[in-house]
Amino acid sequence: MSESQHLLQTKAYYNSDAVQAFYQLIWGGNGIHVGLYDDPSLTIRAASRETVKKMVALLPVSVDGNTRILDIGAGFGGAARYISWHYGAKVNCLDISERQNEYNRKKVAHSGLDQLIQVVTGNYEDIPFEDRTYDVVWCNDALLHSEDREKAIKEVNRVLRPGGWLIFTEVLHGENAARGSLKAILERLPIQDLSTLKDYQRLLRNAGFEEEQTIEMPQHMLTHYTRIQKEMKREKNQLTEACGSDFYKETLKGMSLWIRGVKKGYLSWGMFLYRKTVTG
């Protein structure tokens, strides 16, 4: 199957030197998702880890050596390594970026987790695994890149065993925000649009999932992007050298737009836990 223009743009973005350097220097090189800041003293890296911890705690099943997990849009693979290291679970990481997958594989090898984690290059709208393979499908802030979220969610349903769990975090379109209000926020990124919380609830229900828990937490998103903006200013010289001055200026401008978007209610962020119906 040929790759779409949007998929190629997304791959090019995450494979680029500037983006790789930015996420490693500012986000900590482990997770590239929104963190939880119940403790306001946490670093960006530590707050991102708190998101992973909370997601594991929300799962209604014990995570252990018998648990099979698929992390879609796995990025640097920090969530997978945390889960395998602490619980012994087997995790497959799926991501379209060869650059991030290469980084992830090196971190896996360095951590001695080669027997538990497999890193695969692929698209979650066409998951390269068999039906009913996984107990849990996991995703951190990655479905926003999908061209067809309905298709992606159906693929997740396909590879989950009956009664299996989908747990994910996601950047959301504000429920009451006009559809055109995100244009300036998204135009510099490989994101076509965002879905609202209600959009996801409808898509998941139609795909054969039952809602277990949904937690909307825009306050953490606001703290997260405010912290990133602050760190970018503090590390301006290093970032400019590593990423280029144009990338630095455009990304800093983008952070301001995201922060304003959250404050105005254009953007939100949430955590979702859904169960595949037993008969699905």
What is the percent of the chain where pLDDT is above 90?
Answer: 93
Return the pLDDT at 2. 64
Q: What is the DSSP string of the chain?
A: -PPPHHHHHHHHHHHSHHHHHHHHHHS-SS--S----SSTT--HHHHHHHHHHHHHHH-SS--STT-EEEEET-TT-HHHHHHHHHH--EEEEEES-HHHHHHHHHHHHHHT-TTTEEEEE--TTS--S-TT-EEEEEEES-GGG-S-HHHHHHHHHHHEEEEEEEEEEEEEE-TTS-GGGGHHHHTTTT------HHHHHHHHHHTTEEEEEEEE-HHHHHHHHHHHHHHHHHTHHHHHHHH-HHHHHHHHHHHHHHHHHHHTTSEEEEEEEEEE-TT-
Per-residue pLDDT tens for 153-182?
999 999 999 999 999 999 999 998 887 889
Return the pLDDT at 178. 86
* Structural domains of the chain sorted by starting position, each given as residue range(s) with its CATH number in brackets: 5-276 (3.40.50.150)
Ranking 132-136, 143-147, 183-187 by mean pLDDT, the lowest is 183-187
pTM, entire model: 0.96
Grade residue 1 by pLDDT with cuts at 50, 70 and 90. very low
